[in-house]
Amino acid sequence: MYTKLLIVNIIFGASFLSLSYAQSVTSISDRDLETFSEDLLKKDNSGLSSHVTYDKQGKTNAASAIDRAAKPLLNVDKKALQHPTVAALLALFDNYDPDVKNAEVVTNAEKTEESKFLDAIMGTPAMNFTYNYAKQKGLFNEDRQAFKEWLAKTWFTLYSRGFRTKSSSAFEHVFLGELKQNQVSGLHNWLFFNEQEKKNNLNYMGWMRFEDFGKGSLLKLHYTWKNVDKPVGTLFVGTSPELELSLYSICYLARAGEKCNFKLNGKPLFIQSYTFTGPKSQKLIGSIYPGV
């Protein structure tokens, strides 16, 4: 009897939670999301896109095995790498093993780097605007400190991708990349892409689409990473880490498991998320990526 009651309570508790979650989701219209992204872009004063030049070279497609680009895609000025949120992001890149079969080991020093990254992000006008927006729209109801903690949980919680080892996180997936069964997954951030090009780990093979929104762009492209083919990848270029984290996080809060249609400087793009339920029923991001 005691056990039965307990089960009922757990089920009730869980369904109550998901109900309140669903209610907040419906309060954001597609129009709201478009307005949000345009306003966010206006708040983003990082100036990073002026420190990047592209060498797009040949156009290609997903099926082509021919390398249409002999040279690297990106040339990033040192100034970009010294930008506070970028420097804090770069510090995280050596914390991960891309193979989803290998467990991640998170040291205290790495925890500190994660926290410093989020502090730097939280201090930007773009993320401040994002927090204020989430609060005002009822997407997030607690204070700024709690929002930072929510970001930490959502982006850095480790989980398994089917190999019974805590090898993955939303952050690693999106801001770095992962290798699973001879496929590249994630890898949507230009600063990681640039670093991998510099290390000769990544071979850019040509582009398919290029949408420039003034303070950055979204590219659809073909490349290999660690000799594994990525027939179609999407990459934000010249964007600030806070802008990217904001678009992903707001989309996940507003439309978990669905698509958000955004606009940046009049250019339409979308963010698609897939949810993942962690071992302790944590609501996490399985995958999230930009597209056009």
Ligand X SMILES: *[C@@H]1O[C@H](CO)[C@@H](O)[C@H](O)[C@H]1NC(C)=O
CA distances 148 to 143, 155, 177, 178, Å, are 9, 11, 23, 25
Gyration radius of the chain's alpha carbons: 19
Residue closer to ligand X, measured from CB, 131 or 276:
131
Residues 176-215 that bind ligand X (CB under 6 A): none
Q: Residue 78: CB partners within 8 Å, gap ≥ 6?
A: none
Residue closer to ligand X, measured from CB, 93 or 150:
150
In this structure, are residues 249 and 63 in contact, taking their beta carbons and an 8 Å threshold? no
For β-strands 228-237 and 259-264, DSSP reports them as unpaired
Surface-to-core class of residue 113, CB atoms within 10 Å of its CB (0-12 exposed, 13-18 middle, 19+ buried): buried
Surface-to-core class of residue 248, CB atoms within 10 Å of its CB (0-12 exposed, 13-18 middle, 19+ buried): buried
The DSSP output letter for 180 is E
> Does residue 277 bind ligand X (CB under 6 A)?
no
35, 57, 128, 272: residue in contact with ligand X (rule CB under 6 A): 128
Give the residue among 83, 8, 65 at the shortest CA–CA distance from 205: 65
The least CB distance from residue 46 to ligand X, in Å, is 13
Give the residue among 53, 74, 57, 76 at the shortest CA–CA distance from 205: 57
Given the rule CB under 6 A, which of 20-28, 124-132, 195-203, 232-240 is the region that contacts ligand X?
A: 124-132
Size of the site for ligand X (CB under 6 A): 3
Of 180, 188, 215, 222, the active-site residue reads 188
> Does residue 75 bind ligand X (CB under 6 A)?
no
58, 125, 257, 286: residue in contact with ligand X (rule CB under 6 A): 125
CA atoms within 13 A on the CB side of 178: 23
The least CB distance from residue 139 to ligand X, in Å, is 16
The least CB distance from residue 40 to ligand X, in Å, is 13
Given the rule CB under 6 A, which of 125-133, 176-184, 193-201, 215-223 is the region that contacts ligand X?
A: 125-133
> Does residue 84 bind ligand X (CB under 6 A)?
no
188 is catalytic: yes
Residue of this chain nearest to ligand X (CB atom): 128
CA diameter of the chain: 71
> Does residue 132 bind ligand X (CB under 6 A)?
yes
The least CB distance from residue 55 to ligand X, in Å, is 36
Of 51, 180, 222, 230, the active-site residue reads 230
Which helix (H) or strand (E) element contains residue 152?
A: helix 144-156
Residue closer to ligand X, measured from CB, 29 or 132:
132
The least CB distance from residue 141 to ligand X, in Å, is 16
Q: Which residue has the tokens 């490349």?
A: 223
Of 51, 83, 173, 215, the active-site residue reads 173
The least CB distance from residue 125 to ligand X, in Å, is 5
230 is catalytic: yes
Q: Give me the phi and psi of 114, to 5 degrees please.
A: -60, -45
Instruction: Give the interface with ligand X as residue ranges (CB under 6 A).
Output: 125, 128, 132
Active-site residue numbers?
Answer: 173, 188, 230
